[in-house]
Chain A
Amino acid sequence: MTALQLLFYGVAAAMVLTALAMVLSRNIVHAALLMVGHFLLTALLYVLLRAPFIAVVQVAVYAGAIMVLFLFVVMLVGNRPVELEELLTGRRAIGIASVVVLGGLLVYAVWDGAPAAVPGSAQAVAAESLPADFGSPGDLADLMFRDYLLPLEVVSALLLVAMLGAVVVGRQQLAGPANGPGAPDDAIGDDGPDRGALTDATGDTP
């Protein structure tokens, strides 16, 4: 077993551990931080799989932007540790059954081809015909701006629409039923002073 293989399996085991810990953690902030760890490990795995550009993008987008978003929302929503019984109740039977069945099927389906992708393994070394700049930004841009130009533009439009949608969803609730004519007051429910402060702050905007 070569050093590369050892590193790969170590990173893989750490990824599975962080993912499990994330799903099972009781504190949202802990879960978010475990998610950052998981994504950083994923970036390391991408480097091992000869995808340096994607690894950098992974760190910037996931460990940077998405993480900041999650932590912001945790901050807004407040962090209340859940009880351990609450953690795994609720549709538990369906959840466990579907996870076991699907996980078993997936592992069974990919079992044969798995070793070929492990860097440093005999199969990978035998198939080692990668050019030196495999996965470099130039290589990628060549493909992306020539063969995949239309999907690229569609994705950028999608991002724009999603951001606008997020702003609209957030803002509608800010302006709230206090300003909207005909909004039923009894639908607001039990949220008391918090909403009052929000609608006061934006009360003069139409």
Chain B
Amino acid sequence: MILAALLFSIGLAGATMRRNMIVVLMSIELMLNSVNVTLIAVARALTDVSGHVFVFFSLSVAAAEVAVGLAIVVAVYRSFGSVNMDDVSAMHG
């Protein structure tokens, strides 16, 4: 679980400090993954399979989130010509 905490922190570092949207999405995946590690570890410690079911759900949500996120990245790239977050600060259409 210390491992999971470390991984979550690294993912957070990536999400807050990188400017490239794709890497930010990867960092979000990293954080989700660290939560999964925690769930599996707790399921093992408590000998309860429910944790595995929760990990299964969170995997599905992560997959959905990545699909939508990457679609947004592609859309943003088409209209702004960049995936750098600092270039994409305008909110007008």
Contacts and interface: CB of A to CB of B under 8 A. Distances in A.
A complexed with B? yes
A166 B86 CA distance: 23
A95 B13 CA distance: 6
Interface string B22-35: 11011101100100
Nearest to A58: B59
Contacts of A88: 17
A90 B70 CA distance: 22
Contact of A73 (B2, B8, B22, B40): B22
Contacts of B56: 54, 57, 140, 144
Interface residues of B, number: 68
Contacts, number: 234
Interface of A: 12, 15-16, 19-20, 22-23, 28, 31-32, 35, 38-39, 42, 45-46, 49-51, 53-54, 57-58, 61-62, 65-66, 69-70, 72-74, 76-77, 82, 86-92, 94-96, 98-99, 102-103, 106-107, 109-111, 113-114, 116-117, 119, 124, 127, 129-130, 134-135, 139-140, 143-144, 147-148, 151-152, 155-156, 158-159, 161-163, 165-167, 169-170, 172-174, 176, 183-184, 187-191, 194-195, 198
**Top 8 nearest A-B pairs by Cβ distance?**
A103-B9, A162-B64, A106-B5, A23-B14, A95-B16, A166-B71, A117-B41, A110-B1
Interface of B: 1-14, 16-20, 22-23, 25-27, 29-30, 33, 36-37, 40-45, 47, 49-50, 52-53, 55-57, 59-68, 70-75, 77-81, 83, 86, 92-93
